[in-house]
Amino acid sequence: MQTSRQETGNRSVSAKNTIAGFQSQKVKEDITRFLSENLKLELSDEKTLITHTEKSAKFLGYEIYVRKSNLTKRDSLGRMVRAFNKKVYLKLPMDTIKKKLIDSNMMELRYHNGKEQWKPKCFSQSINNDDLEILEKYNSMIRGFYNYYSIANNCSILSHYRYIMQYSMYKTFAGKYKTTVGKIAKRYVQNGIFTVRYENRFALF
């Protein structure tokens, strides 16, 4: 849903991104008319997708579709039922993770024998910050991304995001101290956890 900013008396009204399921074209037309006549909002035809529920709709970084599955499991009465059929599936695409990492300047793409490879890179904007600031930046970005996409049905692929971010951080520390990733790991990793010491306390990755 999209509209230009509307002034109503002393109030300013603007619409946010919205997704809704319609069972027919007529329902969409009724909603379009209601929004226009009652709320003075315009449903953008350019950004409004009508598709079958078994085909995915892209929305805020997710792909959403209704799953068609013959997998069965027992219900509370012990009967075998198709428990996953006709269930809404919220998918986090790898392209969303890739775009976030590239846009954040944490990763670059390389190609070898025609295959795409993800390579973590030093975040050069942070190399003049102190150790704690660098660590907190990476932790904050990871928390925000995890919190937003953790509701995806395939949220386990978030591990790919964390892996690239982890080694981007290693490279940022290596760039700061003009050394290698291996030496940074040896210096900061304690019991398998990247640790920054400050004021007799510890911050962890």
- Residue 33: what residue type? R
Cβ-based neighbour number of residue 114 at 10 Å? 5
Residues of the chain below pLDDT 70: 1-28, 43, 46-54, 69-72, 80-86, 199-205
| Helix/strand/coil (H/E/C) assignment for every residue in 100-162 | HHHHCCCEEEEEECCEEEEEECCCHHHCCCCHHHHHHHHHHHHHHHHHHHCCCCCHHHHHHHH
Cα 42 to Cα 6, 20, 21, 27, 124, distances in angstroms: 11, 15, 18, 16, 43
- Tell me the whole-structure pTM to 2 decimals: 0.70
- Amino acid 8: pLDDT: 37
Q: Using one digit for the tens of pLDDT, what is the confidence trace for 99-143?
A: 999 999 999 999 999 999 999 999 999 999 999 999 999 999 999
- Amino acid 39: pLDDT: 77
Q: Using one digit for the tens of pLDDT, what is the confidence trace for 38-49?
A: 877 776 776 666
- Amino acid 59: pLDDT: 77
